[in-house]
């Protein structure tokens, strides 16, 4: 067996074990294996413009910091404008010479998303990187102002709508990245109950179902925005404010091996800047393309993804 083949085998074992691959053990081992992809070149995003949703803490903040450090002008898309300004000032201090702009938007409200999309499309000459990171895990079933189950609206409808609105300023070769979750590996696409209207509501299940739909839609979204490269990245298990608030027991047990936020955002930043761009419509973790499914039971039935896409288009009022 060659060194490269052995490296791939070790990487696959880490990935399929979940605990080792998703925890801080994964990158600690993978970085030492032959074939670990090179870091983006210093200044590789100079002159480019990026937007990151949910950018005031956790993975979003780490992503914004990483993109700014590579030279990008970064738009922080935030719900709390005052907090966004504080984070902007922190980034100025952390990344000398950084160019950071704050844009307010409640991504749980599709009307607000439309307003943001129109403002950015009218005010920007270009957008090279768009990172859909904003997320939530409400403790009970919650609806958006438009009446949609909140996790599905926030994680699927809002990002798809915003990208469509920004299509006129997305440059040739722009990167569109959905920050998904490894939790989606445990869920199948429930295309006939996307709003979680049946059964007892589970916050973790709702969250994972919405992330499952993100991943299943990747090939379709790549075809819709063919001049871009569309990806999803899953961060593994990272010690973020969202995990601390929504999954306190999980954090208590796993805290010694959780990644920090920079570790969780690392592949997102790498994909935004690496050259040449890898194949789009794909899922990534620790700088490698990953399968959509680890279990045969999560594979969608024939036509399910098309049905779900028709629902997304209708709810987001896409042509």
Condensed to tens digits (0 to 9), the pLDDT of residues 228-279 reads: 999 999 999 998 888 888 888 889 888 898 999 999 999 999 999 999 999 9
Number of residues that this document lists for the chain: 319
Where do we find the tokens 């429930």? 190
Catalytic residue among 185, 196, 201, 207: 207
φ/ψ of 238, rounded to 5, equals -120, 145
Per the annotation, the verdict on 207 as an active-site residue is yes
Reduced to 3 states (helix: H, G, I; strand: E, B; else coil), residue 79 is coil
The structure's pTM equals: 0.96
pLDDT score of 132: 98
What is the domain partition of the chain in residue ranges? 37-316
In percent, the amount of the chain with pLDDT more than 90 equals: 90
Residue 37, CB-side half-sphere exposure with 13 Å CA sphere? 20
Q: Where would I find the beta strands (DSSP E) of the chain?
A: 49-53, 73-78, 99-104, 127-132, 170-179, 229-233, 282-285, 288-290
The pLDDT tens digits of the residues spanning 140-169 come to: 999 999 999 999 999 999 999 999 999 999
The pLDDT tens digits of the residues spanning 34-91 come to: 999 999 999 999 999 999 999 999 999 999 999 999 999 999 999 999 999 999 999 9
Q: For the chain, what percentages of helix, strand and coil (3-state, to nearest 5) are there?
A: 50, 15, 35
pLDDT score of 174: 98
Instruction: Return the CATH fold of 37-316.
Output: Rossmann fold (3.40.50)
Judged by average pLDDT, the poorest of 18-22, 125-129, 196-200, 301-305 is: 18-22
Q: Is 295 left (phi over 0), alpha (psi -120 to 50) or beta?
A: beta
pLDDT score of 249: 87
| Cβ 165 vs Cβ 107: under 8 Å | no
Q: Is the pLDDT of residue 139 over 70?
A: yes
């Amino acid at each position: 067996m060659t060194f490269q083949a052995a490296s791939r085998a070790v990487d696959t074992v880490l990935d399929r074990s979940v605990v080792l691959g998703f925890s801080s053990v994964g990158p600690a081992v993978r970085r030492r294996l032959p074939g670990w992809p090179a870091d983006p070149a210093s200044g590789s995003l100079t002159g480019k413009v990026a937007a990151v949703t949910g950018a005031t803490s956790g993975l979003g903040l780490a992503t914004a910091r990483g993109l700014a450090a590579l030279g990008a002008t970064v738009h922080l898309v935030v719900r709390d404008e005052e907090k966004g300004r504080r984070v902007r000032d922190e980034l100025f201090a952390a990344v000398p010479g950084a160019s950071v702009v704050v844009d307010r938007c409640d991504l749980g409200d599709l009307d607000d998303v439309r307003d943001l999309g129109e403002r950015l499309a009218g005010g920007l000459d270009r957008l090279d990187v768009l990172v859909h990171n904003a997320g939530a895990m409400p403790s009970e079933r919650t609806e958006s102002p438009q009446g949609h189950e909140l996790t599905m609206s926030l994680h699927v409808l809002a990002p798809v709508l915003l990208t469509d609105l920004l299509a006129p300023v997305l440059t040739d070769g722009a990167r569109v990245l959905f920050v998904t979750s490894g939790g989606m590996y445990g869920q199948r696409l429930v295309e006939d109950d996307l709003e979680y209207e049946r059964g007892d509501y589970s916050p973790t299940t709702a969250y994972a179902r919405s992330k499952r739909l993100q991943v299943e839609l990747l090939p379709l979204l790549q075809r819709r925005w063919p001049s871009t490269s569309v990806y999803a990245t899953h961060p593994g298990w990272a010690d973020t404010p969202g995990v601390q608030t929504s999954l306190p027991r999980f954090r208590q047990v796993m805290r010694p091996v959780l990644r920090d936020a920079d570790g969780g955002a690392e592949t997102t930043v790498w994909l935004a800047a690496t050259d040449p761009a890898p194949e789009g419509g794909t899922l990534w973790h620790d700088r490698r393309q990953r399968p959509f499914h680890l279990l045969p039971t999560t594979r969608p039935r024939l036509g399910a993804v098309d049905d779900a896409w028709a629902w997304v288009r209708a709810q987001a009022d896409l042509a």
